[in-house]
Amino acid sequence: MNIYERLLSKLRYYYYKDKLKYCGGYFISDNGFRITGSNNICIGINCSFNVNVLINSINSITIGNNVMVGPNTVIYDNNHGYLNVDVPMNKQEKISAPVFIGNDVWIGGNCIILKNSTIESGSIVAAHSLVNKEIPPYEIWGGVPAKFLKRR
């Protein structure tokens, strides 16, 4: 990260830190980092978010300490409603559930973390994975949807 990129990362940190429900301390973010629904989001200390990471919340997203998030990853705690066929999907109430990411987690690039997902401490999510369930501590998961690969 060059001096210009470090300055932009600090500006993003100062912009978001007071908007977040909780911010444990400084985090690094690259270009294209975006948060929506910041008053529902908690971020621990020493986290890093690579280029084009999107965190979107209407419920609750908790990200622990020392979490690394790869490029082009999205974390959502909500989705469109679709059950009422008489109402267009974009007019239906959103469905939401919390997302929890523990400490010392590595999420590879191009991952999607969906509502009602838990990634326990020490786990790794392989690049290009979709997480829609609980990942136990110190395990490596990957795929669409993510499946157990091995223990750390």
Residues labelled catalytic:
80
User: In degrees, to the nearest 5, what angle opens at C-alpha 132 toward C-alphas 130 and 138?
Assistant: 80
Answer yes or no: are the C-beta atoms of 34 and 14 closer than 8 Å: no
Whole-angstrom Cα distance, residue 125 to residue 135? 9
- Phi and psi (nearest 5°) for 62? -120, 125
Could you tell me which residues come within 8 angstroms of residue 38 by beta carbon, excluding any fewer than 6 positions away?
Answer: 16, 19, 20, 21, 57
